[in-house]
């Protein structure tokens, strides 16, 4: 059985989970190298998981000729240059979203990725690999709800994670590019269409600290797509009940809803608060299967020499909408794409 030997850069909140998935949960994948600028993260991964190579310098990892592919899960500010370096060193690349945090970066790296089309490149829009979203997409494509007219997406991080989000704000690209981007991508995917006009509003309702990085703690956007469908989005950092991810698609013959109540599982707790359905606590829990499935798909694409289902173009398009949202927020004007 051929295996894809991978090196991962970034061992933080999400990188650590990806690293574990590569090391232990995906057949045909092998975690041969880990890299982080934090020595303690690298030491811990190497010791706990028995990883052969460990680096605190990314360029040194790229010199390891035993590797087939690089998985990028570092801070968003690093993605663009790390993708370029990995492709130029001859590796297949999986990168966490976003492609970059400025429009120039995203345009630039999209061209570089297209230039290296002999290598596989996949972007981490993992919601497309979540079993419920896949199920809904099939129903939509099969025409079960007719023609989609409206899509509504909520993505609200738990307030319990807000300190981390504030610390991350400087390098995140802001609420629209960091958080809402997943829903912007989902809307393109579900509607098979591109955004046409964008209007966005939002503010720092609870945490002015986000304002120090030109960011907001909660924001919304309304978008019309080229096929006439309308979409409304809400993203935030202050959900008190848990990690709230919800999507609704209204069609001419029916409606699909995913995650109406972001329930943790099938258990109802009856207590002094009534009949309680507990909620997911964060992205690692809610999208556990999606992270695994997207990695498996990337490995399969490399092994079978197939085109990856989520590429640079998707990153570029979602980023363009995210920028339009940011621009609309600042100018309070409708933005035409």
Ligand X SMILES: NC(=O)c1ccc[n+]([C@@H]2O[C@H](COP(=O)([O-])OP(=O)(O)OC[C@H]3O[C@@H](n4cnc5c(N)ncnc54)[C@H](O)[C@@H]3O)[C@@H](O)[C@H]2O)c1
CB of 244 to ligand X, least distance (A): 14
In terms of CB distance, is 110 or 224 closer to ligand X? 110
Q: Measured at CB, which residue is nearest to ligand X?
A: 12
CA pair distance 263, 177, nearest whole angstrom: 26
Interacting residue ranges for ligand X, rule: CB under 6 A: 9-15, 35-38, 41, 58, 73-76, 78, 96-97, 124, 126, 178, 283, 287
What are residue 226's phi and psi, to 5 degrees? -60, -30
b/e map of 186-207 (b: 16 or more CB within 10 Å)? bbbbbbebebebbbbebebeeb
CA pair distance 143, 138, nearest whole angstrom: 9
CB of 251 to ligand X, least distance (A): 27
In terms of CB distance, is 30 or 41 closer to ligand X? 41
Give alpha helix (H) positions in 129-217: 131-141, 162-168, 175, 181-191
CB of 182 to ligand X, least distance (A): 7
In terms of CB distance, is 21 or 76 closer to ligand X? 76
Antiparallel, parallel or unpaired: β 263-271 and 218-225: unpaired
CB of 252 to ligand X, least distance (A): 32
CB of 153 to ligand X, least distance (A): 14
In terms of CB distance, is 154 or 283 closer to ligand X? 283
CB of 155 to ligand X, least distance (A): 10
CB of 29 to ligand X, least distance (A): 18
192 φψ region: left (φ > 0), alpha (ψ -120 to 50), beta (else)? left
In terms of CB distance, is 41 or 68 closer to ligand X? 41
CA pair distance 327, 114, nearest whole angstrom: 27
250 CB-near residues (< 8 Å, 6+ apart): 145, 148, 149, 150, 151, 152
In terms of CB distance, is 150 or 168 closer to ligand X? 168
CB of 312 to ligand X, least distance (A): 16
Q: Are 67 and 22 contacting, i.e. CB atoms less than 8 angstroms apart?
A: no
What pairs with residue 234 in β-bridges?
Answer: 154, 220
In terms of CB distance, is 43 or 222 closer to ligand X? 43
Helix (H) or strand (E) holding 54: strand 53-55
Cis peptide before 50 (omega within 30 of 0): no
In terms of CB distance, is 7 or 148 closer to ligand X? 7
């Amino acid at each position: 059985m051929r295996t894809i030997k991978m090196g991962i850069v970034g061992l933080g909140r999400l990188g650590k989970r990806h690293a574990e998935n590569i090391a232990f949960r995906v057949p045909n994948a092998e975690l041969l190298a880990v890299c982080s600028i934090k020595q303690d993260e690298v030491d811990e991964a190497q010791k706990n998981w028995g990883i052969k190579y460990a680096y605190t310098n990314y360029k040194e990892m790229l010199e390891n000729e035993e590797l087939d592919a690089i998985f990028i899960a570092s801070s968003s500010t690093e993605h663009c240059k790390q993708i370029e370096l990995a492709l130029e060193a001859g590796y297949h690349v999986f990168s966490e979203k976003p492609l970059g945090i400025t429009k120039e970066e995203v345009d630039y790296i999209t061209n570089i990725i297209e230039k290296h089309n002999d290598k596989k490149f996949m972007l981490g829009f993992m919601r497309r690999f979540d079993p419920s979203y896949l199920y809904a997409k099939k129903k939509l494509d099969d025409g079960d709800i007719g023609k989609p007219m409206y899509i509504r997406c909520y993505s609200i991080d738990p307030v319990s994670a807000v300190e981390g989000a504030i610390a991350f704000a400087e390098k995140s690209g802001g609420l629209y590019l960091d958080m809402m981007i997943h829903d912007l991508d989902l809307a393109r995917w579900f509607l098979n269409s591109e955004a046409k006009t964008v209007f966005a509003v939002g503010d720092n309702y609870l945490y002015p600290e986000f304002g120090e990085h030109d960011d907001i703690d909660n924001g919304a956007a309304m978008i019309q797509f080229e096929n006439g469908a309308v979409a409304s989005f809400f993203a935030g950092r202050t959900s008190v009940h848990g990690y709230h991810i919800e999507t609704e698609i209204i069609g001419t013959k029916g409606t699909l809803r995913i995650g109406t109540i972001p329930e943790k599982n099938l258990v109802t707790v009856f207590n002094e608060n009534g009949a309680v359905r507990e909620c997911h606590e964060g992205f690692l829990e809610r999208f556990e299967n999606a992270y695994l499935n997207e990695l498996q798909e990337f490995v399969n694409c490399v092994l079978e020499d197939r085109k990856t289902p989520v590429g640079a173009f998707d990153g570029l398009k979602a980023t363009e909408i995210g920028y339009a949202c940011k621009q609309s927020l600042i100018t309070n004007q409708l933005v035409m794409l």
